[in-house]
Amino acid sequence: MSGLACVLVFGSCGQVPPPDPASPGPMARQIVAERLSAVVVTGRDEIGGWAGSRFSAGAAPGDADGGSAAPISGDGYFLTADHVLARMEGRNVFVIYGRGGRLVTKKARVVWRSEASDLAVLHVPLLTPYFYRWTPPERWLPEGTEIIHGGIATGFKSAPGKMLSSLEPEGVFTRNRRFKIDIPLEPGDSGGPVVDARGGLVGINSAVEFLVPMETAFFVDSEGNRPSTRMIESVMAEDRARNR
């Protein structure tokens, strides 16, 4: 992963932005690679050794649960799937952040959770200069919009996919909105970013499972969640005010 800074500019100084790329290409993949982030839930008090070993199986915490995450601000806020935190009671939550290709591990604080929306906001005491910018909330994202995802299980192996349902502008619906994607997800991808061809954050992975006898999980559909960006900004602003 390169440390090259990719800056998203949706038009400035009166300039007309270039047309949207037809498909996510090297720039979008670079943006995802530089922001690679994971959530680990464990009884351990630190996991720096595991991260330092590049997550070798031999150094992994035996009780580790987790998934993926998306940095959404420059001051340490991350969005993930709520079900990634389902077994956090009495355990520690860590975020592993890919700061331009260099992994940094910090203990995280849970700021907000919504089981109904399957979304959660975490905070770590760390500057996070590589973060996602939302696709414009006033933009309609139609069915067929090409996307990639940044889940830690399959994000760098899967080819670009498409949205199987549309996302209306935020002014029309301000609540959480679910959308379907045609990229198969695996455990570990939950909470990872769904990104458009410009590298803008569309939403967060949330896999839908169907349980059959013998408790074997088959993924029959893949979904993303898009919260109200104004609501998420309000959650972060209130948390900043409480923790100055």
* pLDDT tens-digit map of 162-201: 999 999 888 766 688 999 999 988 888 999 999 999 999 9
Q: Is the pLDDT of residue 217 over 90?
A: no
Question: Distance between CA 216 and CA 145 in Å, rounded?
Answer: 32
pLDDT the model gives residue 135:
95
Question: Distance between CA 27 and CA 231 in Å, rounded?
Answer: 29
> Are residues 165 and 218 in contact, defined by beta-carbon separation less than 8 angstroms?
no
pLDDT the model gives residue 20:
57
Question: Distance between CA 20 and CA 196 in Å, rounded?
Answer: 9
pLDDT band at residue 102 using 50, 70 and 90 as cut-offs: confident
Question: Distance between CA 183 and CA 147 in Å, rounded?
Answer: 9
Name the phi and psi angles at 87, rounded to 5: -115, 35
Question: What share of the chain in percent tops pLDDT 90?
Answer: 59
Fold held by 30-131+232-242: Thrombin, subunit H (2.40.10)
> Are residues 187 and 86 in contact, defined by beta-carbon separation less than 8 angstroms?
no
Q: Is the pLDDT of residue 207 over 80?
A: no
CB-based burial, 66-82: b 16+ in 10 Å, e otherwise:
bbbbbbbbeebbbbbbb
- Residue whose C-alpha is closest to residue 34's, from 128, 153, 127, 124: 128
pLDDT the model gives residue 12:
31
pLDDT the model gives residue 59:
62
What pLDDT digit, counting tens, does each position of 10-51 carry? 223 334 444 556 688 899 999 999 999 999 999 999 887 666
- Give the C-alpha distances (Å, rounded to integers) separating 202 from 37, 60, 63, 97, 99: 16, 31, 32, 20, 21
Domains 30-131+232-242 and 133-227 share a fold: yes
Question: What share of the chain in percent tops pLDDT 70?
Answer: 80
Give the residue, 131 or 209, on which the prediction is more confident.
131
pLDDT the model gives residue 68:
94
Q: What is the DSSP string of 180-240?
A: EESS---TT-TTPEEEETTS-EEEEEEEEEEEEGGGEEEEEEEEEEE--HHHHHHHHHHHH
What is the edge-to-edge ordering of all strands in the sheet holding 65-68? 65-68, 37-42, 92-99, 102-107
Residues 219-234: what's their mean pLDDT? 87
For the entire predicted model, the pTM comes to 0.85
Residue whose tokens read 């006033």 = 138
CATH superfamily placement of domain 133-227 = Trypsin-like serine proteases (2.40.10.10)
Residues 58-82: what's their mean pLDDT? 89
DSSP code for 73: S
Q: Where are the domains of the chain?
A: 30-131+232-242, 133-227
Burial of 244 (C-beta count, 10 Å sphere; 0-12/13-18/19+): exposed
Mean pLDDT of the chain: 83
**Comparing 109-123, 194-208, 227-241, which segment has the lowest mean pLDDT?**
194-208
- Give the C-alpha distances (Å, rounded to integers) separating 13 from 6, 7, 17, 111, 120: 19, 15, 11, 36, 35
pLDDT the model gives residue 1:
34
Question: Distance between CA 200 and CA 31 in Å, rounded?
Answer: 9
Other C-beta atoms closer than 10 Å to the C-beta of 140 total: 11
Residues 217-242: what's their mean pLDDT? 87
